[in-house]
Amino acid sequence: MVSLKNLGFASMTAVRFALGTVMVGYGIQKLTNRQIQLGAWSYARPLGESSGVALTWAFLGYSPMFQFLLGAFEVIPGLLLLFSRTRRIGTLLMFPVLANVVMINFFLHLWLDTRWLSSILLALNTFLILYDFEVYWGIASRLLTSPHPIPNRKLRLAAKLAALAIPAAVLGLLQFWGNSVWASQVEPITDFIGRRQINSAGTWKVQSLHINAEPVAAAGYSLYFDFFHTCAYSDGMQKKLGKFEADRLRHTFEISGIPFGTTSGTMKGSYRLGGDQLFLDGRQDGQPVSLVLQRANWGPQLPW
């Protein structure tokens, strides 16, 4: 009769051979720069028209050395899994690799089949960790053993306080600096660029343009704003570059270097948001200008 212990050992052996073999196979494809391929037409398309899959593949495959190293990080743990003496090291090294693959597949919306396969491989890796959990826990306990205390009580107390105070002070200063930069440079213009400028955020299509209450043809024109406080006005063929400022609290704005119609001076005025539209009313070269913009292809944004 087969004992539970023998059954567990047989299952562990089958899992490590399966996981190791699959991951070595995937890794070899990357070592030889064969897995991540993207057709030439994808590189000819505008960035905003590319799918998430194409963008991900273009990034991962851009550097042959990067793809080679990705393969090495899969092959080495996979080979270690194939030998009984090194299987535990291979199991530990493989876990972050597979966790990263699963996150890429799910959060970058890659193919459904690869999501399922990577999830299954991660589950197999988790099974191997649980099988030898006592061994890993023993190693972790030894790594987390308290160091020998400093004999002098006052020095020991000072060392503990410093260990808490110094990192807290550094992190606090970095957080304060980061918040200050955000509050002064980005927060005032978030109505124009979004709170997270990626996935086409900051791109607006011109819905209407009026100068001196007269409509000006602007069909097909676009305005682009970015977090460097620069902007671009394009008709699809030519592009004019300028700068802009905005105050989210006062709902005021200023655009310079962009000619609207026949005007070319700085446009100053007020704005308001209405759903996915941005309404700007101001003056340029002494003439009243009214501009209505519509968000264009803004992808997923943070909910806060």
Average pLDDT, the chain: 90
pLDDT greater than 90 at residue 272? yes
Average pLDDT over residues 118-135: 96
Determine how many CB atoms are found less than 10 A away from the CB of residue 143: 7
Average pLDDT over residues 160-173: 91
User: Distances from the Cα of 34 to the Cαs of 27, 77, 253, in angstroms?
Assistant: 10, 20, 50
Q: Fill in the amino acid letter for 25.
A: G
> For residue 5, what pLDDT is reported?
80
Average pLDDT over residues 5-22: 92
> For residue 2, what pLDDT is reported?
62
Lowest model confidence (mean pLDDT) among 59-63, 227-231, 256-260, 261-265: 261-265
pLDDT tens figures, 213-222:
889 888 889 9
> For residue 303, what pLDDT is reported?
64
pLDDT greater than 90 at residue 53? no
Average pLDDT over residues 240-266: 90
> For residue 302, what pLDDT is reported?
64
| DSSP codes of every residue in 240-295 | EEEEEEEETTTTEEEEES---TT--S-EEEEEEEETTEEEEEEEETTEEEEEEEEE
Percentage above 70 pLDDT, the chain? 98
pLDDT tens figures, 192-209:
998 878 878 899 999 999
